[in-house]
A and B are shown apart, each in its own frame.
Chain A
Amino acid sequence: MSIKNLGNKTLGRIKVVVFMLALLPLFKLCAGAYRDELGANPIEKISHITGYWTLTFLLITLTPTPLRQLSGWLWPVRLRRMLGLFAFFYGCLHVLTYLVLDQFFDWQDILKDIVKRPYITVGFPAFLLMIPLAVTSTDNMIRRLGGKYWRMLHTLIYPSAIGGVVHYWWLVKKDLTNPIIFAALLGVLLSIRVVYRLRSIRLFAV
């Protein structure tokens, strides 16, 4: 056992801790709602917080691969499924906030939003792309699809994350600080992958 590859027992403990930490934002949100501390427009607040954590977990999910490429650490990859499912979990809460609290099932307005409001036009499919990933996240589904097809399918996380960041960028009225931070981090995470991919191709060519 080394820092690069932890034993099952240590990894199990880390998983429990990460699981608890990942629930913290939800716990804080519920506590805030219970104590009536979500401000004058709680629906907007819930929407922003769940959206923020969806994007954050998407970025965290995209981290283990470049981390392995840069440092050789293998164990973070084994947390990836849980992290991705948390991104989906917060994404579901975010979309439910929109459908139930914000629009209250006004399907006509929802449809209009999807067609007319660019940030929803891009945000809604970005969420839909996460559904097949969550559905095929079980060991059984990996076996049934086969590693190659499963990996191909799961590259959908890239358009989903890009769509999520664009969604945030387009909805902000003027202060782009946060969207820029998300975009920059996503840019770094994706470009490390690209660099490694190019290098491996060149290695083959030589």
Chain B
Amino acid sequence: MKPYKIPAIPASEITPKHLFDARRKFMQTAGAASLAALLPQALWAASLGDLKKSPYSTAEELTSLKAVTSYNNFYEFGTSKDDPAERAGTLKTRPWTVSVEGEAHKPKVFDIDDILKMAPLEERIYRLRCVEAWSMVVPWVGFPLAELLKRVEPTGNAKYVEFVSLHDPAQMPGQKYPVLDWPYREGLRMDEAMHPLTLLTLGLYGEVLPKQNGAPVRVVMPWKYGFKSAKSIVSIRLLETQPTTSWMKAGPNEYGFYANVNPEVDHPRWSQAKERRIGEFLKRKTLMFNGYADEVAPLYAGMDLQKYF
């Protein structure tokens, strides 16, 4: 792996700050307005109040709210990108509990409303890189997953974390088809799960998480491909052995357990060297660990990333 070089940006490329801010303001207003027009009030009224600004945020231009909420991979509601926005209305996000169990001294079932009050909510503006070679910049809201995991006191045997999403074909019509082995399962190594970048996510754009984005609670690991970020989580299990995820079962030679963003390890059927940022025309180069190498590269020191893809 080549050492990471900070890219030199010519002055002509830099948007003056007042224009940048105006553009961002316009995008936000336009995005919010169009979304408000799309959704009934009841679905889209819950602001999450004052949010701590996280130093882990990127200053890159945000992807519009409209794109973030209308272009989704959430196979529980269908395999096309516009299915989740059209069909996620059937998901009931209250009452909702998340059971944290397995290798823990104090396993517990948490109510979603208690999770919302568990720790100060922060806004984290993260890059999101999909395994399909497109990317977004999303202002998530949440707090580190570690905050939740600490509360159940993991035992010394807890080496892995498994996330299990809701399984209810009545609420999630896509589960009537065996596209994946339902329920959706994802997982992390314990040190990945405890990493401060790993966000237990409850909202985006300052509001509660829209259903098509994995309401009421999901995780976000910005240095991994998007499919690792399990949505609509009902159970988090601490395990001694590495769990097998839904995508590993679906295509063992295409989707590994780690799924770290890596421009040098191609998907067997397409290149991962570049990506299209949603809203942009020309592709940009994909960065090692999606640009979070400084934070997460030590987690994988000495590992062969071609093998552990």
Contact = CB atoms under 8 A, between A and B. Distances in A.
A174 B254 CA distance: 11
A171 interface: yes
B134 interface: yes
Interface in A94-120: 101, 104, 109, 112-113, 116-119
A121 to B, nearest CB: 10
Contact of B278 (A41, A104, A109, A119): A41
Given A117-B271, A118-B269, A174-B75, A39 B82 contact: yes
Contact of A41 (B250, B271, B276, B283): B276
Given A40-B71, A104-B281, A109 B274 contact: yes
Nearest to A175: B79
B79 A40 contact: no
Nearest to A171: B269
B259 to A, nearest CB: 14
A36 to B, nearest CB: 10
Given A40-B279, A41-B71, A41-B278, A174 B271 contact: no
Interface in A62-119: 101, 104, 109, 112-113, 116-119
A97 B150 CA distance: 50
Contacts of A173: 79, 132
Contacts of B64: 40
B271 A116 contact: yes
A112 B271 contact: yes
A43 interface: yes
Contacts of B71: 39-41
B266 interface: yes
A170 interface: yes
Interface residues of A, number: 19
Contacts of B271: 109, 112-113, 116-117
Interface in B244-280: 250-251, 266, 269-271, 274, 276, 278-279
Interface in A23-52: 39-41, 43-44
Overall SS of chain B's interface: loop
Contacts of B179: 174-175
A116 B269 CA distance: 8
B28 interface: no
A173 B75 CA distance: 11
B67 interface: yes
A109 B202 CA distance: 39
A119 B268 CA distance: 11
B280 to A, nearest CB: 10
Nearest to A117: B270
A39 B79 contact: no
Contacts of A101: 281
B229 to A, nearest CB: 16
B282 interface: yes
B113 to A, nearest CB: 32
Given A104-B282, A109-B274, A174-B250, A41 B266 contact: no
11 contacts: A39-B71, A40-B279, A41-B81, A41-B278, A43-B281, A101-B281, A117-B270, A119-B269, A174-B75, A174-B179, A175-B75
Interface of A: 39-41, 43-44, 101, 104, 109, 112-113, 116-119, 170-171, 173-175
Given A40-B64, A104-B282, 20 more contacts: A39-B81, A39-B82, A40-B63, A40-B279, A41-B71, A41-B81, A44-B134, A104-B283, A109-B274, A116-B266, A116-B271, A117-B269, A117-B270, A118-B269, A170-B269, A174-B180, A174-B250, A175-B79, A175-B177, A175-B179
The 6 closest A-B pairs by CB, nearest first: A40-B71, A40-B67, A175-B79, A40-B278, A175-B179, A117-B270
